[in-house]
Amino acid sequence: MIKILIADDHNVLINGLKLILAVRSDFNVIAVANNGAEVIDLIKIDCPDVILLDINMPVLNGYQTLDILKSDYAHIKVIILSMLNDKRNVLNMLEAGAKGYLFKDTDDKHLFNAVDCVYHGEYYVSENLQHILEEFLQTNKYSDKKNKHQLSSRELEIVSLIIDGNTNAEIADLLFLSTRTVDTHRKNIFYKLSLNNTASLVKYALENKAFLGLQ
């Protein structure tokens, strides 16, 4: 069960998100907040796994809230939900620690994929922001070498299936994911391991099974 907190100063949006997320039995919206101060108070009562966070909120805005979360609650994954689509805002939020960035008019499929990805330690952004995410990842490629090669449990699962010769579509069916989510995982794996294609990934994985923790 993935515990989710929604933070936005518009209750209509919050209620809509709750209805959408309720479709997934493994999602549990444990709390809602109208500003950043409420977010900080609520996570002291029941800590969520993922926060859907607006940027423009009263009392504490998204930037200020994310700064506190990164400092004191770094284990909580944050997805920004905003209509702001300029490069500076997107980069600022990623640099501040957000794992995802979606527009408020995103559909349920992308919302579900985003929650699944960031919960498993991956990045996820709206499709037309992909180039900004790639720039961010490239810029920060050597900033944290210690964590660079640490694959999430989901990524290791996908690497194992790739080694077995499964395609993205077959992996998606086996793990009950969308092919786009599998493709996003694959790109994150390539980035973390500094690899460029499937052949190099298979070669690396076979040569480093012990290092990766694969059987």
Using one digit for the tens of pLDDT, what is the confidence trace for 82-122?
988 888 889 989 988 999 999 999 999 999 999 999 998 88
Task: Answer yes or no: is pLDDT of 50 > 90.
Answer: yes
Question: Given this model, what pLDDT does residue 153 score?
Answer: 78
Using one digit for the tens of pLDDT, what is the confidence trace for 137-172?
887 754 444 444 567 778 888 999 999 999 999 999
Distances (CA, A) of 51 to 4, 79, 124, 184: 6, 6, 14, 20
Percent of the chain with pLDDT over 70: 92
pTM strictly above 0.75: no
As a dihedral over the C-alpha atoms of residue 64, residue 67, residue 71, residue 76, rounded to 10 degrees, the angle is 100
Average pLDDT, the chain: 88
**134 vs 4 pLDDT, higher one:** 4
Q: Are 48 and 30 in contact (CB under 8 A)?
A: yes
Which domains does the chain possess?
A: 2-138 (3.40.50.2300), 142-212 (1.10.10.10)
Lookup: tokens for 60: 């504490």
**158 vs 72 pLDDT, higher one:** 158
Q: DSSP for 176-211?
A: T--HHHHHHHHHHHHHHHT--SHHHHHHHHHHTHHH
Distances (CA, A) of 168 to 80, 161, 171, 173: 27, 9, 5, 9
Q: Are 192 and 211 in contact (CB under 8 A)?
A: no
Percent of the chain with pLDDT over 90: 51
Q: How confident is the model at residue 182 (pLDDT cuts 50, 70, 90)?
A: confident
Task: Answer yes or no: is pLDDT of 38 > 70.
Answer: yes
Task: Answer yes or no: is pLDDT of 46 > 90.
Answer: yes
